[in-house]
Structure 1
């Protein structure tokens, strides 16, 4: 009997873990206005029904929050008519994946770990022009850094577990003087709420009002191979009929796509009922972003940054995109194809195939990209060869390779290649402690 009793908790935990793996989870915590009305929710990373989570990778956590909100639970179910605050680190802030979110429905909350240097400020300005509101997370003092970046953000979230109460009035006054919104977060006592209200804070969030709620929905993980085939078709400018046929082969991907396009983020007057309508309403660029996000966010898929294969694929594709834009600034199709060539050049490793030919055959890849990967053919093949040489840290050899493989590549001098290499690494690896 004792042995059975000892084993029972483990059995219960195993059963619970197996059950919870069938679901996706999302935390949300209310954000209240001064009059006590619900204004928004902060969306939080959760891995189970337990109301807490350990975040080891900010980018992966945010990718899962976005995927679960838009494709798993649904924007309407998660937010109702309200806005959602989503934490973003440097890499996601600078990634087109963020454009999956509707500026009317989501506030981008920049994590305190992000260094707000010139490239980040420039990116924030672009996102604000697109309609996004930008919040700065976990502010605890009126620092020179805060004063410098205030013109570039919309909302300052003041952490009441960090802030010095004696210095709080000066902080609130400085933020309001610049016309910015003040949000008191981690408010846990009536006294803190009264102080924040007296100082003119606009919004409030914390355990004093409500602990986060955990939402769940049954998991629908699309297969990695199907997502890659969708990306390959988009890279090859496939027809609407071809893309529709491929999507119909994968019901789980179709379910994700219909959730994406039927979410209130798109503001459509009618619901989308067919795959063809979903493709037309969403657009291939958004579908490509969505497929890449699902690859990153899948528990059984690619973890951000921690996987050397992902690091290599990410930096290679960005390197090729940047180099292509240097060579042909006005040729958007060539630039997009270069990025996709970099992503798919390692597809055989991703799928566990010994030879690239087998993996590319499964994808039915467009000849231009397939020949570049398989045979180094054409400008894309030349660019891939240059990228592989640059990865070995030999800029001189990469430049010589560029000069030998294709005439127009002479513009890729050692200095230019070094700059592109650095930019690619910074873009993917969250340069600046993101």
Structure 2
């Protein structure tokens, strides 16, 4: 599949999935790339260049006229290129949460970029946290750490303990049942995302 064009018109299909507090308050949405037909595209299996294009397409759709309406935060998967200034981020630091995808390596330029972006007011999230070496190096810069419920089956309490070492808010992803919701709440997750709380809905922005 060809890379989405950075200059493509903003009216593109983007999926939105809510992120809730454990008390039932809407905290934000994750916005996800969709194909021109509105279907999931398996972006995490694409090359870095194609992933850059997908992130650009989502950011363009969301922020072409300023931030989305309302005051909920916008979580967007972001590649290395946006952290090191090879590609631009929208000037919406107050609303945009930069969700660092798990393939990003924690080189000095990336760590410098995270420090600079936090100083500029952007929030940082680490996606699919499994306590890899690179993720551990980035952990001190994270406002949010997102953990897939499936990884809790192997990482358990220790993975959660490591994730909160620097005070980040924990987000449970793929909460697909009431049992998983209860387990994540028991483990101290403050935020929940998954089909049990609201499926990803495709929009045309």
What is the TM-score normalised by the length of structure 2?
0.84
In structure 2, C-alpha distance between the alignment counterparts of 1:130 and 1:91, rounded to whole Å:
17
CA 1:177/1:214 → structure 2, altered by over 3 Å: closer, same or farther? same
In structure 1, C-alpha distance between the alignment counterparts of 2:28 and 2:138, rounded to whole Å:
24
RMSD between superposed Cα atoms in Å = 2.3
Q: Tell me by how many angstroms 1:49 deviates.
A: 5.0
CA 1:114/1:34 → structure 2, altered by over 3 Å: closer, same or farther? same
Question: What residue number does 2:3 align with?
Answer: none
- The C-alpha deviation readout for 1:243-267, integer Å capped at 9, x for no partner, is xxxxxxxxxxxxxxxxxxxxxxxxx
Select which of 129, 149, 152 maps to 2:138: 149
Question: What residue number does 1:48 align with?
Answer: 36
Q: Note if 1:159 corresponds to 2:151.
A: no
Select which of 74, 81, 101 maps to 1:84: 74
Select which of 160, 183, 186 maps to 1:195: 183
- Give the conservation status (yes or no) of the 8 Å contact 1:159–1:184: yes
Matches within 5 A, 1:99-114: 99-114=89-104
Q: Tell me by how many angstroms 1:139 deviates.
A: 1.2
- The C-alpha deviation readout for 1:21-60, integer Å capped at 9, x for no partner, is 9952111110111111111000111133534224331100
- Give the conservation status (yes or no) of the 8 Å contact 1:51–1:212: no
CA 1:105/1:166 → structure 2, altered by over 3 Å: closer, same or farther? same
Question: What residue number does 2:118 align with?
Answer: 128
Select which of 64, 73, 89 maps to 1:71: 64
SS across alignment from 2:121: coil
CA 1:62/1:144 → structure 2, altered by over 3 Å: closer, same or farther? closer
- Give the conservation status (yes or no) of the 8 Å contact 2:77–2:98: yes
Question: What residue number does 1:59 align with?
Answer: 52
Q: Tell me by how many angstroms 1:177 deviates.
A: 3.7
In structure 2, C-alpha distance between the alignment counterparts of 1:23 and 1:88, rounded to whole Å:
20
In structure 1, C-alpha distance between the alignment counterparts of 2:71 and 2:147, rounded to whole Å:
25
Regions of 4+ moved over 4 Å: none
- Give the conservation status (yes or no) of the 8 Å contact 2:20–2:192: yes
Select which of 169, 191, 197 maps to 1:181: 169
CA 1:191/1:98 → structure 2, altered by over 3 Å: closer, same or farther? farther
SS across alignment from 1:131: coil
CA 1:22/1:84 → structure 2, altered by over 3 Å: closer, same or farther? closer
Matches within 5 A, 1:234-313: none
In structure 2, C-alpha distance between the alignment counterparts of 1:205 and 1:61, rounded to whole Å:
21
Gaps of 5+ in 1: 1-20, 218-434
Q: Tell me by how many angstroms 1:128 deviates.
A: 0.6
Q: Tell me by how many angstroms 1:76 deviates.
A: 3.0
How many residues end up aligned between the 2 structures? 192
- Give the conservation status (yes or no) of the 8 Å contact 2:104–2:134: no
- Give the conservation status (yes or no) of the 8 Å contact 1:49–1:214: no
SS across alignment from 2:164: helix
Question: What residue number does 1:119 align with?
Answer: 109
What is the TM-score normalised by the length of structure 1?
0.41
Q: Tell me by how many angstroms 1:88 deviates.
A: 0.8
- The C-alpha deviation readout for 1:191-239, integer Å capped at 9, x for no partner, is 111111001101111111111111114xxxxxxxxxxxxxxxxxxxxxx
SS across alignment from 2:64: helix
Q: Compare relative contact order (CA 8 Å, sep 6+) and give the higher one, 1 or 2.
A: 2
Q: Which structure features the higher share of strand residues?
A: 2
